[in-house]
Structure 1
Amino acid sequence: MHIFQQAQNEELTDCPYLGDQRKSYCYFLASRVDAAEMSLLLAQGWRKFGLYFFRPECPQCRNCIPLRVRVADFAPSRSQRRVLRKAQGLEARFGPLRLTDQIYDLYRRHSQGRFDQSADPEDFLYNFYMPSCPALQTELYYNDELIGAGFLDQGSDCLNSVYFFYDPAYAHLHPGTFSILREIEYAKGLGLSFYYLGYYVPGCRRMGYKDHFRPREHYDWSTGVWSEAIGPPEGPVEFQ
């Protein structure tokens, strides 16, 4: 691993997930992170975009919970099986990073249609096409038409979901859920142990979908230990 900037804390800003909280990330910049190093960082609760590695260091809150699915034990739920049955004509393809105008246009339309946000091409390139570790790209096709794409980091024992976007016109096919199911299946085919889903924030409705992929483990910030989630999934499934 080559570190460009040592770890430091950002200034406090408003939390994007819990409106009554303030957030701060500890972050560093690095490249040439190998698969074993990537697995270790993920197992310690770190996330990343491009060269930017981060994890929460909020002074009064530890509600960003790192999640990972145990690949060998995973079985789709009843609702997830319905998504697979409904998804006739959908296909996920995996390969190296491959930037095209069509992929950026999908990202732009997804940002506008789902979040009412304008896409920034420089941020897009920095976050997804400046890899700092082994990386893969998911491409989602419907009857051979590209309708979605996503990015994965590959560790020595895991795949890490970085981001996924799709054409909002196909939201009725639940492409987000479909892509996660196929990425877990792909990780299993590679003989990997875990599929990382990022941070889950109890009480944040748009994060609720992550609690529906089980059995999954969560990370305890105070002990540094991963343990299996218990209890029924929280809230409705909102991720498409």
Structure 2
Amino acid sequence: MILYQAPEPSPSVPCPYLPDRHLTYEHFFAGEVRPQELDWLLTQGWRKFGAYYFRPACQGCRACRPVRVPVHHFQPSKSQRRVLRLGHQVTMRLEPLHYRPEFFELYARHSRMRFGQEADADDFLVHLHSPSCPSMLALYHLGERLVGVSYLDIGEESLSSVYFVFDPDYAALSLGNLSILREIDLARRLGLAFYYLGFVVAGCPRMAYKERFRPQERYAWERKAWEKTGRSPGP
């Protein structure tokens, strides 16, 4: 790993997840991160976009917890099996990380329709198409139409979901959940141990969908250890 900048705290900004809170990251910039180094960073709660690596460092708040699925123990719930059946015609194709204009077009539509934000092409390239570790794409098609793009990092033991964008016209297919289910299975077939989902945030409903993929493990900042969470009741 080449460290371009040592870890340091970011400026405090309004929290995008919880009202009346402020967010601070510990962050650094790095390149040529090897698979085993990526594994270690993920186990310590780090996430990344491009060469930017970060983890929460908020004073007095530990609501954001990294979450991972031990793929060899995962079994889809009844509702998740319905998602798989609903999306059975959606194909997934793996490709090396590369850029095509249609990827940004899909990202821009997704940002506009889902979040009411206008996408910036330069930010898109810096955050998602500037690899600093082994990375790949999972492309989701319905027939000939590209309906989803998943940005994935791969370590020796880990598959990490960096970002997923989908065509809002196909929201009824639950493409976000479908991609997670397909990628958990991909990690299992690749002989990896964990699929990393990013953060769950206590008190943030829009992040709650990640809690449904059980069993899972969540990182306890105070103990610097992963805690097992079993399957919750329900469909």
Work out whether residues 67 and 197 of structure 2, in 8 Å CA contact, stay in contact via their aligned partners in 1.
Answer: yes
In structure 2, how many angstroms separate the alpha carbons of the residues matched to 1:3 and 1:227? Answer: 30
Deviations 1:115-137 (A, max 9, x none): 01000000000011100000010
Q: Which residue of 2 aligns with 1:34?
A: 34
For structure 1, which segment, 53-62 or 138-147, has the greater mean C-alpha deviation from structure 2 after superposition? Answer: 138-147
Q: Which residue of 2 aligns with 1:90?
A: 90
Residue 231 of structure 1 deviates from its aligned partner by 7.0
Q: State, as a whole percentage, how many aligned pairs show the same letter.
A: 47
2:128 corresponds to 1:131? no
Q: Which residue of 1 aligns with 2:110?
A: 110
In structure 2, how many angstroms separate the alpha carbons of the residues matched to 1:231 and 1:150? Answer: 26
Work out whether residues 215 and 231 of structure 2, in 8 Å CA contact, stay in contact via their aligned partners in 1.
Answer: no
Q: Which residue of 1 aligns with 2:5?
A: 5
TM-score with structure 2 length normalisation?
Answer: 0.97
Q: Which runs of 5 or more residues in structure 1 are unaligned? A: 235-240
Work out whether residues 17 and 204 of structure 2, in 8 Å CA contact, stay in contact via their aligned partners in 1.
Answer: yes
Deviations 1:208-227 (A, max 9, x none): 10000011001110111111
In structure 2, how many angstroms separate the alpha carbons of the residues matched to 1:19 and 1:179? Answer: 29
Q: Which residue of 2 aligns with 1:161?
A: 161
Deviations 1:123-158 (A, max 9, x none): 000011100000010100012311110101101101
Work out whether residues 39 and 158 of structure 2, in 8 Å CA contact, stay in contact via their aligned partners in 1.
Answer: yes
- One-letter amino acid matched to 2:73: D
What SS does structure 2 have at the residue aligned with 1:5?
Answer: strand
Work out whether residues 211 and 233 of structure 1, in 8 Å CA contact, stay in contact via their aligned partners in 2.
Answer: no
2:201 corresponds to 1:171? no
Work out whether residues 212 and 233 of structure 1, in 8 Å CA contact, stay in contact via their aligned partners in 2.
Answer: no
Aligned residues: 235
Q: Flag the 1:41–1:157 CA change in 2: closer, same or farther, 3 A.
A: same
Alignment of 1:76-87 (within 5 A): 76-87=76-87
In structure 2, how many angstroms separate the alpha carbons of the residues matched to 1:113 and 1:15? Answer: 22
Residue 101 of structure 1 deviates from its aligned partner by 1.1
Q: Flag the 1:95–1:154 CA change in 2: closer, same or farther, 3 A.
A: same
Q: Which residue of 1 aligns with 2:186?
A: 186
Q: Which residue of 2 aligns with 1:143?
A: 143
Residue 93 of structure 1 deviates from its aligned partner by 1.1
Alignment of 1:2-81 (within 5 A): 2-81=2-81
Q: Which runs of 5 or more residues in structure 2 are unaligned? A: none
- One-letter amino acid matched to 1:202: A
Deviations 1:89-111 (A, max 9, x none): 11111121121111110001000
Residue 233 of structure 1 deviates from its aligned partner by 7.2
What SS does structure 1 have at the residue aligned with 2:169?
Answer: helix
In structure 2, how many angstroms separate the alpha carbons of the residues matched to 1:16 and 1:230? Answer: 28
In structure 2, how many angstroms separate the alpha carbons of the residues matched to 1:165 and 1:178? Answer: 12
- One-letter amino acid matched to 1:33: V
RMSD between aligned alpha carbons? 1.4
Work out whether residues 216 and 230 of structure 2, in 8 Å CA contact, stay in contact via their aligned partners in 1.
Answer: no
Work out whether residues 39 and 155 of structure 1, in 8 Å CA contact, stay in contact via their aligned partners in 2.
Answer: yes
In structure 2, how many angstroms separate the alpha carbons of the residues matched to 1:170 and 1:11? Answer: 38
